[in-house]
Amino acid sequence: MLEEEYYGKVSEVAMEIGVNQKLAKILLKDGIIPSVKTGSEIRRRYYTTKSWILHAANKIKTTHNLPDNSPLKKVFLTKNITKNIFETKNKNCTIVCMTNQKGGVGKTTDAVNFAVALAKLGQKTLVIDMDSQSHSSRYINRGDDDLSFEGKSVLNLFYKLTQREDLTKEIVESYIVSFDNIEEEGYGIDILPSEIRLARMMELTRMIPNAEKLLYKEIIGKIKTDYDYIIIDTPPSASLSLSSSLYACDIAVISTELNKLAEEGMRATIEEIGYLSKNIEKEIGIGAVIINSYSLANKMDDKYLKKTIDNAMSAEVDYPDIYSVKSSPSLVSETQDQGIPIIESKKRIRETLRVVSPFMSFAISLIEKRGA
């Protein structure tokens, strides 16, 4: 993975790309170079990274048919650059399933913050919460503790299916919640929420033939053309919710930590994916592994890092990248309490950048491999 460099001054960005500070600020302000913004409009600061700058440069080259070896200065001096360089040209939706049969490994944190990273990069993104604990549904509530999805969640769509009701695109859309008023951060995100009774409802759907195909064919199939990416957060157990999510996905991503129980959960998850691939007659590729709470100071991490890599390679990972997320429990808990993704944290901004960079790197990797 690229050795990341971080920039907290417009002058630093200007020097990196070889343009004057006025143009560098316009590129940051307009979102052409992705950044984290702090301060008031008058005293605005923009924090970005080298990989985000390079991603913007690659998009400009593609959009304006510039040679791959074009220097950064020439790229960013290109006339008529707008944020629409990030608009997806390939409209095929990619469905990503975040999973691990061991709970408490940061799966929901990964799902939400990876989805936000995609949205930050201009991708129309939906999170589907298939976990009855409904943590993803409550993650981005903007501090609204009274926000409730009871009676307005994916559970109700499955209930309609058990009643043999036909689901139309309009019906599915009516249960999607949009957080698209985040003007300050420059992105929006949609969620199809869950609620606590989902696990029981999923058991009731077993009476329907090919129940594991319902999520994809009857729900996602109605709305997937509206999105560039759909991220599914799954329960930490073998269940119909999990098999339905895996059947629906194009890429499975395993979230894990570096300890014995998480490593065992990862192995069980890989075995479950292999089992499901055979039984539902669909090859499910493991696209990446995200290692949470990684610390160089913890010697045990090195031991389980090797096991994690061995497990990943034994599963024939399609995209052999392994992403490690810096250990920062206080930052994660603070943002969860505030109901905001990590990228919106304004405290310890460089720590925030280091924590969110793996999600942005994975998002950039998928976007560039897809040729969006």
pTM: predicted TM-score of the whole model, two decimal places: 0.90
Identify which has the larger pLDDT, 201 or 179. 201
Q: What is the mean pLDDT of residues 3-28?
A: 91
Lowest mean pLDDT among 28-32, 293-297, 346-350, 361-365: 293-297
Q: Quote the CA–CA distance of 47 and 34 in Å, as a whole number.
A: 9
pLDDT of residue 348: 81
Q: How far apart are CA 359 and CA 110, in angstroms?
A: 8
pLDDT classification of 336: cutoffs 50, 70, 90: confident
Q: How confident is the model at residue 256 (pLDDT cuts 50, 70, 90)?
A: confident
Q: Distance between CA 113 and CA 323 in Å, rounded?
A: 13
User: Residues of the chain with pLDDT > 90: what percent?
Assistant: 39
| Residue 25 pLDDT greater than 50, yes or no | yes
CA distances from 129 to 64, 215, 271 (A): 38, 11, 23
Highest mean pLDDT of the ranges 65-79, 264-278, 286-300: 65-79
Q: What percentage of residues in the chain have a pLDDT greater than 70? A: 90
pLDDT at 218: 95
The DSSP element (H or E) to which 8 belongs, if any, is none
Residue-wise pLDDT for 224-255, tens only, equals: 999 999 999 998 888 899 889 999 999 899 88
Please report the domains of the chain, with CATH numbers, ordered by start residue: 6-85 (1.10.1660), 94-370 (3.40.50.300)
pLDDT: is 36 or 372 the higher one? Answer: 36
Q: What is the pLDDT of residues 116-150, one digit of tens each?
A: 999 989 899 999 999 988 888 888 877 676 677 88
Per-residue DSSP letter, 215: I
Please list, residue by residue across 180-202, b when 16 or more beta carbons sit within 10 angstroms of its beta carbon and e when fewer do. Answer: eebeebbbebbbbbbbeebbebb
**What local confidence, expressed as pLDDT, does residue 319 receive?**
45
Is 129 strand, coil or helix? strand
Residue 181: per-residue pLDDT: 55
More confident residue, 13 or 297: 13
Q: Is the pLDDT reported for residue 313 higher than 70?
A: no
Residue 121's nearest CA partner among 339, 331, 311, 366 is 366
- Give the DSSP H or E segment for 192: strand 187-192
In degrees, to the nearest 5, what angle opens at C-alpha 148 toward C-alphas 144 and 149?
135
Q: Is 70 exposed, middle or buried (0-12, 13-18, 19+ CB in 10 A)?
A: middle
Helix, coil or strand: residue 252: strand
- What integer best gives the mean pLDDT of the chain? 85
> How far apart are the two ends of the chain, measured CA to CA in Å?
21
The Cα 166–Cα 219 span in angstroms is: 10
pLDDT at 26: 92
